[in-house]
Amino acid sequence: MFLDRAVKTKKHPCFSKSAHNYARMHIPVAPVCNISCNYCNRKYDCVNESRPGVTSEVLSPEEALAKFRIVKEKMPELSVVGVAGPGDSLANFPETKKSIQLIQAESPDMVFCLSTNGLMLPEYQEDILQLGISHLTITINAVNPRIGAKIYAQVNYQGVSLSGEEGATLLLDRQLKGLEYLSARGIVCKVNILLLKGINDSHLEEVVQVVKKHGAYMTNIMPLIPVKGTRFEDLPLSDGKELNNFRRKCSVHLKQMYHCQQCRSDAVGCLGRDRSLEFSDNYIKEREVSSR
């Protein structure tokens, strides 16, 4: 039923730079998040920002299917459907699962992927395998709980809110368990790492080495996009040269991604050529009214 994962990787622009002519579609069906990061906020409704966690709409699974049909008709190069927020895909797993099942029933040859902080991976790892998801992105910013405690304000698990090293330890344990389990069973796993100067910049190489040991296919070291109102809004930024130096240093351990666009949660189109506004619900409605 499912294409070979190596073939699918060649069609996934986030996992293969040579796939730049293939388009991807992020369906924003997952508004809830279960951790609080010091670089993020949940005010995701903004059409003028382009960063992870931002979307102009949140869709139900049925609305996601309807939008997929429109995008597929207009964009024959569409090859990937992913859930990347605006919260966490696994913190909203019923909606994530139903959305994928609805689209998969119509287009089983699509590449399906998820992006997650990894907290709920052990709970849903079997579901991920059964759904036929071939690619997974996990954000792991630290493999030392002392450093993780500086990044994560709260980790909410099974109704309990944990902070400090306790929360960071729980999160890391579940991230690595999920990564190892799923990568060992053929899921292509990419690990995103946010470069936070003065927080984890001296720790990046260790993160890459640890996630490699647990089965990661590649890592994607990303620059911080400052978000007003967050604890890290005034953190020093890295320029492109410094960022690529970190990537090159880590490339001796594991394959690195150099072409990440840090996409919105409702991104549509090829990397670097976003067409999400064209397919937003409000835009479609306005276009229908103007054409009458």
Predicted confidence band of residue 14 (pLDDT cuts 50, 70, 90): low
Q: How many CB atoms lie within 10 A of CB 202?
A: 10
143 vs 25: CA distance, rounded Å? 31
What pTM did the predictor assign?
0.88
Coil, helix or strand for 260?
A: coil
Q: What is the 3-state secondary structure (H, E, C) of 151-201?
A: HEEEEEECCEEECHHHHHHHHHHHHHHHHHHHHHCCCEEEEEEEECCCCCH
Backbone angles phi, psi at 24, to 5 degrees: -125, 160
Size of the chain in residues? 292
Question: For residues 59 and 23, what is the distance between their CA atoms, to the nearest angstrom?
Answer: 20
Helix axis angle for 93-106 and 121-131, nearest 10°, is 10
State pLDDT tens for residues 79-118.
899 998 899 999 999 999 999 999 999 999 899 999 999 9
147-166 burial, b at 16+ Cβ within 10 Å, e below that, comes to bbbbbbbebbbeeeebebbe
Pairing of strands 78-83, 160-162: unpaired
Q: What are the tens digits of pLDDT across the range 35-83? A: 999 998 765 554 434 455 566 788 999 999 999 999 999 988 898 999 9
Q: Which CATH architecture best describes the domain 5-189+262-287?
A: Alpha-Beta Barrel (3.20)
| Segments making up each domain of the chain, as ranges | 5-189+262-287
Give the residue carrying structure tokens 């189109």: 269
Using pLDDT thresholds of 50, 70 and 90, give the confidence band for residue 154: very high
Q: CA 285 to CA 291: how far, in whole Å?
A: 10
Q: Which of 91, 115, 106, 104 is nearest to 14 (CA)?
A: 115
User: Residue 86: is the preceding peptide bond cis (ω within 30°)?
Assistant: yes
CB 85 within 8 A of CB 137: no
Residues paired with 25 in a beta bridge: 81, 268
Reported as a single tens digit per residue, the pLDDT across 225-283 is 888 889 999 899 888 899 999 999 999 999 998 866 567 778 887 766 665 667 776 54
